Structure 1
């Protein structure tokens, strides 16, 4: 398959790219600062350019999303808008613009996360964004068939415990390789409207 991989230069994007290319797929990498195509998918006009440059693809895979972390009473309206824009609207735009551009039985795989179902202090924006992405996936799945859409919802990565582990006390981490395999399952499988949880 020809796969468009968004957020390809991050930890997760790198792992997913290696897993997909290791299975023989042609992967076109997209990132703000690196990759085959350098664009910011937070800008709808740049999403259009990505699709125009990539041409026809069989699958679109998202591994990137930006959200602020602060206590609720320190969050501003702009912080919540930023979270919605940085993790929800950008992924929705990939799907909205991608439906007419990907293969008839192609797929989208988006990124969400454990905080949508198991929040931690300072995660209200991330929890909101993850919940919104998951709701969108379930709704879009019933409209875009035979194209498919799923989301991957991991907990904290084992490889990121040194930096983020203290924020997730008692929550089992997951290896990036395991998360990458969930992406493989979504891309190569037949299910749609699924939230693949890893915890």
Structure 2
């Protein structure tokens, strides 16, 4: 398979990339690194990326920004960071990418535990994650060419524990192998329209 991974150099992305590139052709994309650069908050760069890469069998997004701050500190523009990047960025990857995805291909998007169990200072991120869940469930009913779409939603991952554990009191970090397997399930399995939750 020819697989495009956006966010391939990130904490989760590098683990998923390492697993899939053993048996598949993997094209790594990122904002400032990888085989090709893309800013998912800008649909023009998404279109440019797909034109350069050409047809693929699977599109995985493990990227997207959102502002973390207390609700009283969040401005309208702060909310738009997550809306433009993590929400519409992933929506646009599907909207534009469907024209470059081979018949029977799949999309795998990424959210996280905040959609179901938000923690302090994550109003914007939780809102965006919940929106992606609804989008995936709805758009799976309309995709053509036997395309599938799923979203992986994991709790705090082991490799990000040191950076984020203070935000997630009482959360048991998820082993990276378990997270990686969720992406493999979406790409190589048959689920469609699913929120693949990964908990410890």
TM-score (norm 1): 0.97
Tell me if 1:75 matches 2:54: no
CA contact (8 A) 1:157 1:175 kept: yes
Secondary structure of the corresponding residue to residue 152 of structure 2: strand
Q: Tell me, in whole angstroms, the C-alpha distance in 2 between the residues paired with 1:113 and 1:196.
A: 10
Deviation, 1:177, is: 2.3
Tell me if 1:148 matches 2:141: no
Structure 1 alignment gaps of length 5 or more: none
* Segments ≥4 residues shifted beyond 3 Å: none
Q: Tell me, in whole angstroms, the C-alpha distance in 2 between the residues paired with 1:59 and 1:174.
A: 25
Deviation, 1:189, is: 0.7
In structure 1, the partner of 2:190 is 190
CA contact (8 A) 2:9 2:33 kept: yes
TM-score (norm 2): 0.97
Deviation, 1:4, is: 0.5
Q: Deviations over 1:84-127 (max 9, x none)?
A: 11100000000000112111110000001000000101000010
CA contact (8 A) 1:62 1:111 kept: yes
CA contact (8 A) 1:157 1:173 kept: yes
Secondary structure of the corresponding residue to residue 142 of structure 1: coil
Number of residues of Structure 1 aligned to a counterpart in Structure 2: 198
In structure 2, the partner of 1:20 is 20
Q: Tell me, in whole angstroms, the C-alpha distance in 2 between the residues paired with 1:57 and 1:103.
A: 6
CA contact (8 A) 1:19 1:181 kept: no
In structure 2, the partner of 1:161 is 161
In structure 2, the partner of 1:128 is 127
CA contact (8 A) 1:42 1:90 kept: yes
Q: Tell me, in whole angstroms, the C-alpha distance in 2 between the residues paired with 1:166 and 1:41.
A: 28
